[in-house]
């Protein structure tokens, strides 16, 4: 049996002897992972935004104007006691008017013209985070009696559209990610094949003196893993640079405060990227050496 | 040791070997001879498993090489030594590394490899030259390194494809003397050559091929 030390020694000797081609392979992997990393960052941040919105599930239930105040308070108390409700706040017609006037200048004369009940009274209901799913919110809204409430608004349509957009983005990401991955695999496999080809005579001799496929392939797999790891590190450094320079500036320019600061890829995603790089390098190396072994004498 | 039964080898429409029947006993020394294109190299390639016969059966030490899978080929080659006209040495490795390769691939400890390399360097007359690189040596010396690599694992059979083809007279004789001494230790030796002078000087059995047919055995 060959010791791991022996295989590592052969792998690192080859890495050193073909440093230029190995660097090329690592750069190709880095480029592919950078694209995938950008996609993952966008995806991660959009998910975080949706998560924040969905955790803060808010329902506005607007009373019919003819519902008496006593009934409104009893409904408020009844809803407040429901387990799925985190808090309920009653907003009277005058509270609503005061809130709007405070935010929109010169609106007071218009609202005076329309009368005291220009804006309906409402219950501002916050649901618990367990109710964050769109179907649960819809079920809660449906449970409110239409004879009491004129309108119920919970931004359902918008959330559903955004979720649909995210699903589309995920699908697009999967397709583009696969294409980028395949293109990188093709390029890296051919780059590694150049290394294999430059060592053609040596590998042929190894075969002729009785080396097994494993003996020949193992150092190349380690070489591929090293290229993948280096590629992943380069991609993460690149991604960090893009995040710092571009994304943060964009954030400032557009004043994107909606979901807090746009985050860099969290460690699990970084590990995923490193794993992808290593897998890409190993697969490319395996395909290249196998191609050679199938044709060597 | 070596048995061929009705062996044919075709490359498309071209027949490289035609209905070859042959027996070489253990410990024999034989030349595979004939003009260029007669099938000498093809015959050797079949023996070391680089090619498979189109038809027929080829037994090597009782093993049917024609049916051997790629996975089992390394085990066959570890029991044979192969010498080529162009030496097939790795120029970026020292003489010791080149010779030791045959032991390295089977996981032999380094210390044992160094001892065996030192011993075979003595056999081929290159004692103390282990740290040199092949490219700095003469053709005859390089071929002796190749022979040393071929015999380091004590193979039962040694195949040499035109081993003296690139060497001048004196060096060719030196290499033949080494092959002869290896044969005297019990190794079956098969040498593909068309050098009649050499065959006259070292008279052994001749397997003569013409247009793929074994015409004299």
| CATH code (residue B206) | 3.40.50.300
Select from A201, A208, A215 the Cβ nearest to the Cβ of B82. Answer: A208
Chain B positions touching A207 (Cβ under 8 A) are: 74, 77
**Distance (Å) from the alpha carbon of A2 to chain B's nearest alpha carbon:** 5
Cross-chain residue pair B48–A201, CB shorter than 8 Å: no
Distance CA B189, CA B168 (A): 21
Residue B8 lies inside a defined structural domain of this protein: no
Cβ atoms A33, A279 nearer than 8 A: no
Q: Does A4 touch chain B (CB under 8 A)?
A: no
Token pair, residue B109, equals 């400890």
pLDDT band of residue B158 (cuts 50, 70, 90) is very high
Residues spanned by the domain of B80: 26-52+71-216
Task: Report the number of distinct structural domains present in chain B.
Answer: 1
B147 pLDDT above the threshold of 50: yes
Which pLDDT score is estimated for A259? 43
Cβ atoms within 10 Å, residue A187: 18
Domains in chain A with CATH codes: 4-53+160-295 (no CATH), 58-153 (3.30.70.3040)
- HSE value, Cβ hemisphere, 13 Å, CA-based, for A237: 8
Which pLDDT score is estimated for A254? 60
DSSP string, A10-51: HHHHHHHHTHHHHHHHHHHHHHHHHHHHHHHHHHHHHHHHHH
Cross-chain residue pair B105–A211, CB shorter than 8 Å: yes
Residue B64 lies inside a defined structural domain of this protein: no
Residue B133 lies inside a defined structural domain of this protein: yes
Kindly report whether the global pTM for this prediction surpasses the value 0.90.
no
Residue B3 lies inside a defined structural domain of this protein: no
Distance CA B9, CA B200 (A): 30
Residue B102 lies inside a defined structural domain of this protein: yes
Q: Assign B194 to helix, strand or coil.
A: coil
**Distance (Å) from the alpha carbon of B90 to chain A's nearest alpha carbon:** 6
Cβ atoms B41, B192 nearer than 8 A: yes
Residue B2 lies inside a defined structural domain of this protein: no
B125 pLDDT above the threshold of 80: yes
Cross-chain residue pair A209–B149, CB shorter than 8 Å: yes
Cross-chain residue pair B105–A210, CB shorter than 8 Å: yes
Q: Where are the alpha helices (DSSP H) in chain A?
A: 4-17, 19-55, 69-80, 93-103, 108-114, 134-142, 156-198, 200-208, 213-242, 248-254, 267-295
B108 pLDDT above the threshold of 80: yes
Select from B71, B74, B88 the Cβ nearest to the Cβ of A201. Answer: B88
Mean pLDDT, rounded, for B191-213: 91
Which pLDDT score is estimated for B37? 84
Residue B164 lies inside a defined structural domain of this protein: yes
Residue B5 lies inside a defined structural domain of this protein: no
pLDDT band of residue B124 (cuts 50, 70, 90) is confident
Q: Does A200 touch chain B (CB under 8 A)?
A: no
Probe site for chain A from B104, B110, B113, B148 (most A CB atoms < 10 A): B104
Distance CA B154, CA B114 (A): 15
Q: Which of A129-138, B38-47, B52-61 has the lowest mean pLDDT?
A: A129-138
Select from A201, A211, A297 the Cβ nearest to the Cβ of B90. Answer: A201
Express as a percent the part of chain B with pLDDT over 70: 100
Range A115-137 burial, b when 16+ CB lie within 10 A, else e = eeeebbbbbebebeeebbeeeeb
Probe site for chain A from B79, B90, B117, B146 (most A CB atoms < 10 A): B90
Q: What is the pLDDT along chain A (297 residues), one digit of tens a residue?
A: 567 788 888 888 888 888 888 898 899 899 889 988 888 888 888 777 766 666 667 788 898 888 888 888 998 999 889 888 888 999 888 888 777 777 776 766 776 777 666 788 899 988 887 766 667 777 888 888 888 888 888 766 666 777 788 788 878 888 888 888 888 888 888 888 888 888 888 889 999 999 988 889 999 999 999 999 999 999 999 999 988 887 767 766 665 554 456 788 899 999 999 999 999 999 999 998 888 888 877
Cβ atoms B161, B50 nearer than 8 A: no
Distance CA A79, CA A89 (A): 10
Mean pLDDT, rounded, for B141-149: 91
Cβ atoms B29, B204 nearer than 8 A: yes
Token pair, residue A131, equals 């109710």
């Amino acid at each position: 049996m060959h010791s791991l030390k022996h295989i590592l020694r052969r792998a690192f000797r080859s890495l050193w002897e073909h440093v230029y081609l190995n660097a090329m392979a690592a750069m190709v992997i880095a480029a592919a992972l950078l694209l995938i990393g950008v996609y993952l960052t966008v995806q991660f941040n959009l998910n975080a935004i949706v998560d924040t919105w969905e955790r803060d599930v808010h329902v506005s239930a607007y009373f019919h104007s003819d519902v008496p105040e006593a009934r409104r308070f009893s409904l408020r108390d009844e809803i407040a006691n429901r387990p799925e409700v985190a808090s309920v706040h009653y907003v009277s017609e005058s509270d609503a008017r005061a809130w709007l006037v405070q935010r929109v200048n010169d609106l007071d004369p218009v609202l005076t013209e329309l009368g005291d009940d220009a804006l309906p009274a409402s219950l501002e209901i916050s649901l618990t985070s367990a109710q964050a799913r769109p179907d649960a919110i819809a079920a809660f809204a449906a449970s409110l009696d239409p004879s009491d409430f004129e309108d119920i608004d919970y931004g359902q349509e918008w959330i559903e559209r955004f979720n649909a957009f995210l699903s589309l983005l995920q699908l697009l990401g999967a397709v583009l990610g696969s294409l980028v991955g395949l293109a990188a695999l093709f390029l890296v496999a051919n780059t590694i094949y150049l290394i294999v080809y430059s060592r053609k005579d040596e590998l042929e001799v190894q075969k002729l003196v009785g080396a097994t496929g494993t003996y020949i392939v193992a150092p190349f797999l380690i070489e591929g893993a090293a290229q993948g790891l280096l590629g992943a590190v380069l991609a993460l450094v690149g991604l960090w640079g893009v995040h710092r320079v571009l994304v943060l500036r964009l954030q400032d320019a557009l004043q994107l405060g909606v979901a807090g600061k746009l985050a860099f890829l969290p460690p699990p995603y970084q590990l995923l990227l490193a794993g992808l790089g290593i897998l890409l390098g190993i697969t490319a190396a395996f395909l290249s050496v196998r191609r050679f072994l199938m044709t060597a004498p | 040791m070596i048995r061929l039964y009705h062996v044919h080898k075709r490359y498309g429409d071209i027949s490289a070997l035609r209905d070859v029947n042959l027996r070489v006993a253990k410990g024999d020394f034989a030349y595979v001879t004939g003009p260029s294109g007669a099938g000498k190299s093809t015959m050797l390639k079949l023996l070391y498993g680089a090619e498979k016969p189109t038809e027929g059966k080829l037994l090597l030490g009782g093993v049917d090489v024609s049916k051997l899978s790629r996975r089992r080929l390394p085990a066959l080659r570890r029991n044979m030594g192969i010498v080529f006209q162009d030496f097939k040495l790795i120029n970026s490795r020292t003489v010791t590394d080149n010779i030791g390769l045959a032991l390295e691939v089977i996981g032999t400890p380094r210390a044992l490899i160094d001892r065996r390399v030192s011993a075979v360097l003595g056999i081929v007359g290159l004692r103390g030259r282990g740290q040199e690189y092949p490219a700095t040596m003469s053709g005859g010396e390089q071929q002796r390194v190749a022979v040393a690599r071929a015999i380091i694992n004590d193979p039962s059979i040694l195949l040499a494809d035109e081993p003296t083809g690139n060497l001048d007279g004196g060096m060719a004789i030196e290499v033949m003397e080494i092959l002869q001494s290896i044969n005297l230790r019990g190794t079956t030796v098969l040498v593909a050559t068309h050098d009649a002078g050499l065959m006259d000087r070292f008279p052994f059995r001749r397997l003569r091929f013409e247009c793929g047919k074994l015409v004299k055995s």
